[in-house]
Structure 1
């Protein structure tokens, strides 16, 4: 776990665990995470030459807060249901933005890889939590794709649904299983 992009992606753990109860909310928080982390990385690149230490952290905080506020306003305009479901978790994406300021990678796309990792983990957790927890997929798809998507919900009656997986402890359990599987298949000897 010593790779910086993994650490940056896991700084958004609270947002990740709280917002991935449904696949639709997971996709949305993933897209917002990719956009915000990439833009913060792009905007921080020229500031690194001018600022150091606490000034750099404050700049990352200001940029992240501004971009997340804009993302929240756009989300509220686009889909009020999604905004209501995700409003609590959007500010928590500031932690990875602060992590970008501390990162050694000073390239303009320093936030893109952690953003993609965050989005992939969000979608995977959302898929597993909704599929195994509610025994459905694409529940509330109309929140993201409009009224035409209201009939897209797939029922998985053979799974039955494990209610624990829709709650925060179930999200921790699934995340632990996913991290253990990734570590097992990565074959890395470092602790």
Structure 2
């Protein structure tokens, strides 16, 4: 993973910390971040040839703002409960779009790889935070999948939840551990 992709993926850190306490919320934030970064990269590509860096940053702000607003409205239509639980995190998904605009090497699909990294990190954090924090999985699945998913919740009875993981400081600690593990297993031999 190159450094600019990491910076883009982690620029949505607050959205990751705030929106991944449940697996359903993490799936939603991850998918929204992925779609947002791909669309932002596609829409910024033709503008890179004609705009200077300051104007491109403003264009990214406007494009990202419109995309986040559309995503918020669509999420409200899909599920009012899911929207209410993610309302504070949605505007923060604009930050990766701004970082994407600052990358001079970004192509039309420049948002794909960081979007996938963001989505995978959101999914992993949501899975670990809900599993170890609340000792459940798929709590409130009906928010995303409708009333048929009401009985999908899995209870991990053998675990006692560690409540720290459901809070933002626990998410930050968990993210630090995941990044340390990734760094340990992906070390370069270069000096």
The alignment's TM-score, normalised by the length of structure 1, stands at 0.97
After TM superposition, give the deviation of residue 15 of structure 1 in Å.
0.4
Q: In structure 1, what is the equivalent of residue 66 of structure 2?
A: 66
What's the CA shift string for 1:102-149, capped at 9, x where partnerless?
112231100111111000000000000000000000000000000010
How many residue pairs get aligned? The number is 191
Instruction: Output one character per residue of 1:21-49: Cα deviation in whole Å (capped at 9) or x when no partner.
Output: 00000000000000010000000000001
Q: How far is the alpha carbon of 1:89 from its aligned partner?
A: 0.5
Whole-angstrom CA distance in 2 between matches of 1:150 and 1:190: 51
Distance 2:77 2:153 in 1: 24
Shift of 1:159: 1.1
Which contiguous aligned blocks of 4+ residues in structure 1 show a shift greater than 6 angstroms? none
1:46-101 per-position Cα deviation (integer Å, ceiling 9, x unaligned): 00011012100000000000000000000000100010011110110111100011
1:169 aligns with: 169
- Contact 1:48–1:106 under 8 Å retained in 2: no
- Alpha-carbon distance in structure 2 between the residues aligned to 1:181 and 1:40: 30
Q: Secondary structure at the match of 2:14?
A: helix
Any stretches of 5+ residues in structure 2 without a counterpart? none
Structure 2 equivalent of residue 17 of structure 1: 17
Q: Which residue of 1 aligns with 2:36?
A: 36
Given the superposition, is the C-alpha separation of residues 107 and 33 from structure 1 closer, same or farther in structure 2, using an over 3 Å criterion?
same
Instruction: Please state whether the residue corresponding to 1:157 is helix, strand or coil.
Output: coil
1:122-137 correspondence to structure 2 within 5 Å: 122-137=122-137
Residue 83 of structure 1: aligned partner: 83
Partner of 1:54 in structure 2? 54
CA distance in 1, matches of 2:190, 2:173: 23
Aligned-residue CA RMSD (Å): 1.3
